Chains A and B, each alone.
Chain A
Amino acid sequence: MSSSDTPDTDVTEAEAVEVDELREGVVARLREVLGDGVVEHHIVPNCDVWIRIRPDAWQAAASSVRYTLGARQFGFLSAIDWQPSPWRRYMDSEVDKAVHGDEPKPLPEMTTGYAGGETRFQVFARVANIIEHWGVTLKVDAGDTDPAVDTWTKVYAGADWHERETWEMFGVRFEGHPFLRNIYLPSGFEGNPLRKDYPLLSRFTKPWPGIVDVEPMPGTDEEPSSEEGA
């Protein structure tokens, strides 16, 4: 058995020591500029990097990645509501019952994703360096009840529309944004649709479209088995 164990451990060790110098370098350079403004980072080797910024360093982080690290290509800016949805998936579809059983499970605890997080709302943005060919996702905690972060429009002019969208969808205020107003929704719209506690209203007026409504063939009493659908 030991002979078969050894290659396994070798593989895991090789994975553990796999170092992505490019992305480690990105994090190190950003730490050099921002100091303790960088809270946490997460690297998937040769793939991607996530960096969490302290809220008061959010705007400085933008100018650092743009002017010091050369990530001049703006990608997008949006937010995540980490609270589990009280509505779940409106679990009335067959596939849900097959996995979860008929009884709905209790709501899970709130957990955050890569590079951690402390608050319910998190704003994240993606920028890329098109010469060195890397992209980075920057995250920042926005708060629990009245989320707000600094604006990026002073550094990336293109963040304007993205912040307006985030504002109407999540209710995240962007301090210093020239004119926060709705971009997709009508101006009198109430609520923030992409918050997890905002229900998907069509689910209350129409039945779930995922239910496969198959009538039995005439002359057979049996229900069609759910295995056939695969």
Chain B
Amino acid sequence: MTAVSDRQKLAYLAGQAADARVNVELETEGMVLNIGPQHPATHGTLRIVARLDGEQVVQAEPIMGYMHRGYEKLTEVRTYAQITALINRIDWVGSFANEVPFILAAERLMGIEAPPRAQWIRTILFEMGRMANIILFLGDMGIQVGALTPMFYAFRDREFILNQIEAVTGGRFHPNFDRIGGLKDDLPKGWIEDSHTAMAKVREICDIMEDVLLGAEIFEARTRGVGVIPPDVAMQFGLSGANARASGIDWDLRRDTDVGLPYGQVDWKVWTHPDGDSFARYWVRLQETREASLIVDQLLDTIPSGPVMAKVPRIIKVPEGEAYVATENPLGEMGFYVVSKGDLNPFRVKIKTASFNNLSITPWLLRGVYVPDIITILGSLYFILGDLDR
């Protein structure tokens, strides 16, 4: 227990020191800067109230809830099939990746396992969702620091992925394709060849982004050493996904947990970066996109034949029990804690989203930074408002 209070004391002293540093040179009057709720850097409606001293932030407080849709309450009155349609809307750019952890949790409670072909297609679509999501970030981060060109490249090449998702599921944003026990449909004819082409395009845009942004002096000057998160702090706040890996935490749920998806059958690696700054977060996400395209390429070549749906009852009643399944979603760890009482609807669903944890570090992180760096840090943490407010 002494270790705890010492740590708290140190954190308090660090805060006092930051305050002292801000105030030491000029005795200036504070100012409150309101960013949002409608601001391009917030990807939706997030408001940030920053107390400034000159150019530096003394205290910043994100205010959210403008988009809270009450999914946890709604899941208590809806059937499992209806919930799949709801949770598509949590992280709307990662689309398909939202459905997977919930379906896997329900399958674990029911003791059903989807056939191998369904698991393979699930993983392929999951990774495509990741690419569609992160390519948007790769372009968007450029815009946050003043580079317009990457955004156009990103939106152009993201279409190749969305077309592939649309060809299978019929939906570009909300596929609603995953079912308890498998998938709604099999792949269309000729899709595998087209996907190989799309994956080559993804690697191409990764190369473009590397040339256009990572090598640019201005980009490095704006992101290097900005918003540094030490690994211990990252874990305390529960940061996950690329944000954690950019702080040197070697943790990827795709590799470290076994939920039935065939990541073990593929040769791939987890990318980490020791720096923990905004640049590292961009770099890790860029490498992850390229890695995801390689994963999909391998899965497309080894996809097994067979049915895509296991035998499930027509009316789905999930047996009594509790299950927590988390997967490595584009934004980080997304988990569904499902409590069932053996009824048509879950008794309680706790939706653990990545953005909530990732953003909860901002009051700590924004303290003492300069105003333009607020935008860089928020952009590099990369949250989706639907994922934050749910």
Contact = CB atoms under 8 A, between A and B. Distances in A.
A158 B78 contact: no
Nearest to A208: B77
B269 interface: no
Contact of A184 (B64, B108, B238, B341): B64
Given A60-B1, A114-B322, A158-B360, A75 B333 contact: yes
13 contacts: A60-B1, A67-B3, A75-B333, A80-B348, A90-B77, A99-B317, A130-B249, A157-B236, A157-B364, A158-B236, A184-B65, A186-B65, A194-B73
A124 B339 CA distance: 12
Given A126-B324, A135-B324, A158 B237 contact: yes
B236 A74 contact: yes
Contacts of B78: 89, 210
A75 B238 contact: yes
B321 A95 contact: no
B173 interface: no
Interface in B69-84: 70, 72-74, 76-79, 82
B243 to A, nearest CB: 12
Contact of B341 (A48, A111, A210): A111
Contact of B232 (A47, A72, A76, A113): A72
Interface string B313-325: 0110100011110
Interface in B106-163: 108
A169 B390 CA distance: 14
A76 B322 contact: no
Contacts of B99: none
3 interchain residue pairs of minimum CB distance: A158-B237, A184-B65, A74-B238
A160 interface: yes
Chain B interface bracket (under 10, 10 to 19, 20 to 34, 35 or more): 35 or more
Nearest to B255: A133
Interface in A60-115: 60, 63, 67, 72-76, 78, 80-81, 85, 89-90, 95-96, 98-99, 108, 111, 113-114
A154 interface: yes
B360 A48 contact: no
A184 B71 CA distance: 13
Interface in A125-158: 126, 130, 133, 135, 137, 154-158
A157 B79 contact: no
B263 interface: no
A111 B339 CA distance: 12
B234 to A, nearest CB: 9
A74 B77 contact: no
B368 interface: no
B390 to A, nearest CB: 9
Contacts of B235: 72-74, 130
A26 interface: no
A80 B339 contact: yes
A182 B345 CA distance: 28
Interface stretch (B26-34, B215-223, B350-358): B350-358
Given A113-B322, A184-B68, A200-B77, A154 B356 contact: no
A73 B76 contact: no
Contacts of A90: 77
Chain A interface bracket (under 10, 10 to 19, 20 to 34, 35 or more): 35 or more
A183 interface: yes
B4 A154 contact: yes
Interface string A215-230: 0000000000000001
B322 A50 contact: yes
B361 to A, nearest CB: 7
Contact of B335 (A75, A89, A111, A186): A75
Contact of A210 (B79, B350, B360): B79
Nearest to B237: A158
A180 B360 CA distance: 15
A48 B324 contact: yes
A42 B362 CA distance: 36
Given A76-B357, A89-B76, 5 more contacts: A126-B335, A154-B8, A158-B238, A203-B77, A210-B82
A95 B343 CA distance: 12
B72 A194 contact: yes
Contacts of A157: 11, 233, 236-237, 364
A157 to B, nearest CB: 5
B389 interface: yes
Contacts of B1: 60, 63
Contacts of B339: 80, 113
A183 B65 contact: yes
A161 to B, nearest CB: 4
A82 to B, nearest CB: 8
A185 interface: yes
Given A48-B324, A184-B389, A161 B344 contact: no
A200 B73 contact: yes
A63 B339 CA distance: 27
